């Protein structure tokens, strides 16, 4: 099979992914072989390819937003997320918090992912796809979409509430239609005129720059930028008893802020870490129901380096998706 393999991480400009002909992997018991129909391209892939996330194997096939068809089935389609597996035995798994598992396995990092014609995945981590979702449109939902959805859960968003989104990238723009479907009042604070325009076109009720605050305090806020200043901005927009959920793997720092005015009053700050299978299933069902259709730019598998380079240069309209 054709695959884009990473042997030595390097700057994407040097085209570190090698397009190779590799044997089709054989599924072990409890695994399923998928013919890849589409695979989303994510910023985490860029971090893996450039070595910001340290290599765990001599060779890895990246890609953790796989839409695939089970080989030998009658067209059963599955989605695969960043979560390739958990141990099922640690205290977090036993509490039903598999996103916090002590020994998680990650698609396209710990194990081979979807930048290939075929991929082997754990059957119990292959999420059946609703019929209403197309292959290309589903791929970006499997990372940015699901984690955005989890953020709404972590922020305890209830129907009809006021929700502030701080930053408006891949994840936030998929969360907004969900909030609209829930009848929420959505305000978006973001740098970048094009992001503000997109937020407006998707039906945000209020849009401002990262320095502006929603006119009325929000019940819930989600921050999408790797910046502690943004967390403080979100806190300063929050009503008493509200929650700020931080959807970022790293933050530059948490700046000093005033406890009395910003956190007292039972305001909460929570981080968002990975996703559960239930998040993925529930989100995909909802996405199908509300007709969520992310904008995609298609690249051929052979163009995996170009897709990542374009992502790095912010030169992609919508989400990049590889098609073998």
Write out the residues near Zn ion by the rule CB under 5 A. Answer: 42, 44, 86-87, 90, 93, 101, 143
Minimum CB separation of residue 63 from Zn ion in Å reads 9
Choice between 93 and 304, CB closer to Zn ion: 93
- Cα–Cα distance measured from residue 189 to residue 167, given in angstroms and rounded to the nearest whole number: 6
Choice between 126 and 143, CB closer to Zn ion: 143
Neighbour count for residue 73 (Cβ, 10 Å): 13
The alpha-helical segments, DSSP class H, found in 205-276 are: 228-235, 259-262
- Cα–Cα distance measured from residue 43 to residue 307, given in angstroms and rounded to the nearest whole number: 11
- Cα–Cα distance measured from residue 63 to residue 109, given in angstroms and rounded to the nearest whole number: 8
- Quote the distance between the C-alpha of residue 225 and its chain's center: 13
Choice between 150 and 162, CB closer to Zn ion: 150
Choice between 44 and 223, CB closer to Zn ion: 44
Choice between 237 and 247, CB closer to Zn ion: 247
- Cα–Cα distance measured from residue 137 to residue 67, given in angstroms and rounded to the nearest whole number: 10
- Cα–Cα distance measured from residue 253 to residue 35, given in angstroms and rounded to the nearest whole number: 42
Pair of tokens at residue 167: 């930053």
Neighbour count for residue 257 (Cβ, 10 Å): 14
Task: Give CA separation, 148 vs 28, 90, 214, 275, 299, in Å.
Answer: 32, 25, 20, 10, 24
Write down the residue that tokens 């502690």 correspond to: 228
Choice between 141 and 292, CB closer to Zn ion: 141
């Amino acid at each position: 099979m054709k695959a884009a393999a990473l042997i030595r991480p390097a700057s994407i400009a040097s085209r570190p992914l090698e397009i190779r002909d590799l044997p089709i992997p054989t599924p072990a018991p409890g695994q399923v072989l998928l013919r890849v129909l589409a695979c989303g391209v994510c910023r985490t892939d860029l971090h893996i390819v450039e070595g910001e996330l340290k290599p765990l194997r001599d060779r890895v096939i990246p890609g953790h937003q796989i839409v695939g068809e089970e080989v030998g089935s009658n067209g059963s389609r599955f989605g695969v997320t960043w979560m390739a597996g958990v141990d099922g035995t640690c205290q977090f798994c036993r509490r039903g918090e598999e996103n916090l598992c002590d020994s998680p396995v990650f698609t396209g990092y710990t194990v081979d992912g979807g930048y290939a014609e075929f991929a082997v995945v754990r059957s119990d981590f292959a999420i059946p796809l609703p019929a209403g979702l197309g292959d290309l449109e589903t791929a970006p939902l499997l990372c940015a979409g699901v984690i955005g959805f989890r953020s709404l859960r972590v922020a305890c968003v209830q129907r009809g509430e006021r929700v502030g989104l701080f930053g408006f990238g891949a994840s936030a723009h998929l969360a907004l239609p969900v909030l609209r479907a829930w009848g929420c009042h959505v305000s978006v604070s973001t740098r970048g005129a094009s992001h503000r325009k997109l937020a407006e076109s998707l039906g945000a009720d209020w849009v401002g720059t990262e320095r502006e605050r929603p006119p009325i305090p929000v019940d819930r806020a989600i921050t999408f930028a790797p910046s502690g200043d943004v967390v403080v901005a979100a806190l300063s927009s929050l009503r008493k008893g509200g929650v700020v959920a931080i959807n970022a793997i790293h933050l530059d720092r948490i700046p000093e802020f005033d406890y009395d005015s910003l956190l007292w009053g039972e305001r909460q700050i929570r981080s968002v870490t990975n996703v559960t299978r239930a998040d993925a299933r529930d989100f995909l069902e909802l996405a199908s129901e509300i007709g969520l259709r992310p904008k995609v730019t298609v690249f051929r598998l052979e163009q995996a380096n170009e897709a990542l380079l374009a992502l790095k240069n912010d030169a992609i309209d919508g989400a990049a998706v590889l098609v073998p």
